[in-house]
């Protein structure tokens, strides 16, 4: 019966380890995964599209859903805009990314630097319970 006394401790250890961040869940890796999923989505891969959508922060998804609703309302209901489809219809084709680096990380917010053939840009990343997500909320705000 001795092995049974270790079972609760083993279960506790597994639960605690399950809550630890995965080694690949860094802002840089999450952005690279997002970019890869977007490329797949633009080639018509529905699973990649769902993964890319899931890589967007909750506020970004909400902003895109609001825009999709606005398009549907503006068309008098003729256009049934779905937020994920709306996003991919408006995403420019991916550029040749040569480097992705971590520029800053403070708490649950990070910025990654993306170097491509068109220059350098910064992408805001936010940590949510499911991991680092691409946050396009500011860029979606209309001037």
- Residue in 48, 46, 24 with CA at minimum distance from that of residue 36: 48
- Mean local confidence (pLDDT), 26-34: 96
What's the pLDDT band for 46 if we cut at 50, 70, 90?
very high
Let me know if residue 7 belongs to a domain. no
Let me know if residue 117 belongs to a domain. yes
| pLDDT given for residue 143 in this prediction | 55
Let me know if residue 81 belongs to a domain. yes
- For residue range 58-77, list pLDDT tens digits in order: 999 999 999 889 888 898 88
Greater confidence (6 vs 135) lies with 135
Let me know if residue 47 belongs to a domain. yes
What's the pLDDT band for 17 if we cut at 50, 70, 90?
very low
What's the pLDDT band for 24 if we cut at 50, 70, 90?
low
Let me know if residue 15 belongs to a domain. no
Let me know if residue 75 belongs to a domain. yes
Would you tell me how many other CB atoms lie within 10 Å of the CB of residue 78?
7
Domain limits for position 110: 24-140
Q: Is the pLDDT of residue 85 over 90?
A: no
CATH number of residue 31's parent domain: 3.10.450
Record the pTM: 0.79
Let me know if residue 67 belongs to a domain. yes
- Please tell me the distance from the alpha carbon of residue 41 to that of residue 71, in angstroms, as a whole number: 22
Contacts of 32 (CB under 8 A, 6+ apart): 100
Contacts of 59 (CB under 8 A, 6+ apart): 126, 135, 137
Q: Is the pLDDT of residue 44 over 70?
A: yes
3-state secondary structure of 24: coil
Would you tell me how many other CB atoms lie within 10 Å of the CB of residue 109?
14
Residue 124, CB half-sphere, CA atoms under 13 Å: how many? Answer: 14
Question: For the chain, what is the domain count?
Answer: 1
- Please tell me the distance from the alpha carbon of residue 32 to that of residue 45, in angstroms, as a whole number: 17
Let me know if residue 5 belongs to a domain. no
- For residue range 94-113, list pLDDT tens digits in order: 688 999 999 999 999 999 99
């Amino acid at each position: 019966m001795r092995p049974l006394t270790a079972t609760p401790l083993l279960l506790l250890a597994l639960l605690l380890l399950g809550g630890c961040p995965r080694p690949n869940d860094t802002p840089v890796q999450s952005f690279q995964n997002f970019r890869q999923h977007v490329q797949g989505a633009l080639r018509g891969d529905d699973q990649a599209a769902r993964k890319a959508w899931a890589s967007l922060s909750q506020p970004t998804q909400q902003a895109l859903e609001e825009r999709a609703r606005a398009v549907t309302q503006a068309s008098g209901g003729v256009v049934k805009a779905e937020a994920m489809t709306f996003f991919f219809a408006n995403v420019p084709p991916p550029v040749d990314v040569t480097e992705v680096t971590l520029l800053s990380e403070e708490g649950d917010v990070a910025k990654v630097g993306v170097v491509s053939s068109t220059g350098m840009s910064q992408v805001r990343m936010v940590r949510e319970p499911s991991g680092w997500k691409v946050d396009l909320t500011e860029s979606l705000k209309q001037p």
